[in-house]
Structure 1
Amino acid sequence: MKAIIIAAGLSTRLGRYTESLPKGMLDINGRTILQRQIDLLCKRNISDIVIIVGPHKEKFNLENVRYVEDYEYESHDVLLSLMAARSEITGNIIVTYSDILYDGVVLDQMLESDADVGIATDLDWEQKYKGRTEHPRSEADNVVIEDERIVRIAKNISEIKVGQKNGEFIGMVRLSPDGSDILMREFDRVKNRLGPFHNAKTFAKSYITDMIQEMIEREILITPVITSGSWCEIDTYQDLENARNMFD
């Protein structure tokens, strides 16, 4: 099992905290976000950890990891940042964002999944948006679940049909060897796409969620991995304070 952590994004909403520091290197009660992720992974014998870096790359000082540099982070978004490490996308993989905190329960549930493409999904997600005025519910990456498969992923899905469930994608993907092959095959099929790409204005500005939606529309099975542990995203000042209250 390998872990790929995407840490190449430009962080603007945290102002002075990330003017000269990658978001993943923010301190949460004595350990950085990334160090907390690494510690959880290593405790589960996942020692092959790749971090995709972009701005302020000199601030990454983590041990027992490998770095891949995204040289074009200013011109594209998360999906193409992931593809900076495309040679690493093979075999069993956990892909995760660098600005989320999660506990061992969440990670174990992902590792125990036998899905080819498994998406970490929180069904109790709406509770996390109470009082979260700087990052409202409308910005959630929602997933619609029907018959144990994800049938749609997009921001701010508010209407669902009878028999469907509405969850939130928390920023972690589990790929089997077949799942890694499927992702790369589908990416190569669309990588020269012109114009909008699902929720993105251009392919260069697309997110992993846009690629997942493409796979859904190709009738590829995308499996929700329902998480019951603690997690949070850190995107605003409120989120940072919340993270420091949630995680010792």
Structure 2
Amino acid sequence: MVKTAVIMAAGLGSRFGKMTESMPKGFIEVGGTAMVVRSVETLIACGITRIIIGTGYKKEAYEQLADIYPQIECVYSEKYASTNSMYTLYNCREAIGNEDFLLLESDIVYSRNAITELMECPHPDVMLITPVTKFQDQYYVEHDSTGRLTNCSTDKTEVNAAGELVGIHKLSAEFFSRMCRDYAAVVAEKPKMGYEYELLSMSQNVMPVYVLNAKDVKWYEIDDESDLEYAEQNIIRSL
């Protein structure tokens, strides 16, 4: 069983405007509970004993959360304003060590079976997708007949889309070690790479990432106030 999870939480959350002037995006409440708190409690309920949070903007909020949940360890990225999620993940590599782990975004709400189905999947390196549910900012995912990730894009016309990226993954220690070595060669050129594109590059060229299409998982990514309103009205009660 995977016992470690890594949450990406360094971003500015600028699309929320004034809502994130005093807090990081993960602390925005949906249904009366902060998104990151929902995630932490779900992970713990699923048997996760160690939660690494890659922080940046308003890092103090996550550090205070670690005082409440002893499972949490924060790893701060000083370059959060000029980098993206792959750099944040790369910055966590020493804390992760030689552990298999779940990788999650801080700005998603999801049903518990998103975690349990990933854990039960026999493949060691897995990207969770579902049928398309979001009305904006989708990442469409394509895979081959074996389930291996072959493409992903925000433009649906560029891929033979099997579904939509959720923002929850399972990665093995071996895969992540090779992923870090691969990214180290290009980090100076691509500090703003999203980790999903490094996963794609790895799957295409180095080691397979398999796609798990979980049609019964409920979830939503919340990037701005429109997303928040939609999630409050249509998603949160079904989790």
Q: Which category of TM-score, normalised to the shorter sequence, fits these structures?
A: 0.7 to 0.9
The amino acid of 1:102's aligned partner reads Y
Q: Secondary structure at the match of 2:140?
A: strand
Q: Report if the CA contact (8 A) 1:21-1:56 is conserved.
A: yes
Structure 1 unaligned spans of 5+: 130-135, 195-202
Query: Which residue of structure 2 lines up, in the alignment, with residue 232 of structure 1?
Result: 220
The correspondence of residues 89-168 of structure 1 with structure 2, limited to 5 A, is 89=96, 90-122=98-130, 124-125=131-132, 127-129=133-135, 136=136, 139-147=137-145, 148-160=147-159, 165-168=161-164
Query: Which residue of structure 2 lines up, in the alignment, with residue 51 of structure 1?
Result: 53
Question: Post-superposition shift, 1:159?
Answer: 5.0
The amino acid of 2:156's aligned partner reads I
Q: Deviations over 1:104-141 (max 9, x none)?
A: 1111111112323210111x21x432xxxxxx3xx321
> Alignment partner for residue 210 of structure 1, among 190, 197, 221?
197
1:77 counterpart = 2:79: no
1:36 counterpart = 2:38: yes
What TM-score, normalized by structure 1, do the two folds share?
0.85
Q: Report if the CA contact (8 A) 1:54-1:69 is conserved.
A: yes
Q: Report if the CA contact (8 A) 1:91-1:176 is conserved.
A: yes
1:173 counterpart = 2:156: no
What TM-score, normalized by structure 2, do the two folds share?
0.88
State the Cα RMSD in Å.
Answer: 1.7
The amino acid of 2:236's aligned partner reads F
Identity %, equivalent residues: 25
In 2 relative to 1, CA 66–216 (structure 1 residues): closer, same or farther, beyond 3 Å? Answer: same
- Taking the aligned partners of 1:35 and 1:175, their CA distance within structure 2 comes to 22
1:68 counterpart = 2:75: yes
Structure 2 unaligned spans of 5+: none
The amino acid of 2:7's aligned partner reads I
- Taking the aligned partners of 2:76 and 2:12, their CA distance within structure 1 comes to 14
Alignment length, in residue pairs?
Answer: 226
Q: Deviations over 1:165-224 (max 9, x none)?
A: 5311111120123222332232234334x3xxxxxxxx0111012212221331521100
> Alignment partner for residue 179 of structure 2, among 168, 183, 199?
183
> Alignment partner for residue 208 of structure 2, among 199, 206, 221?
221
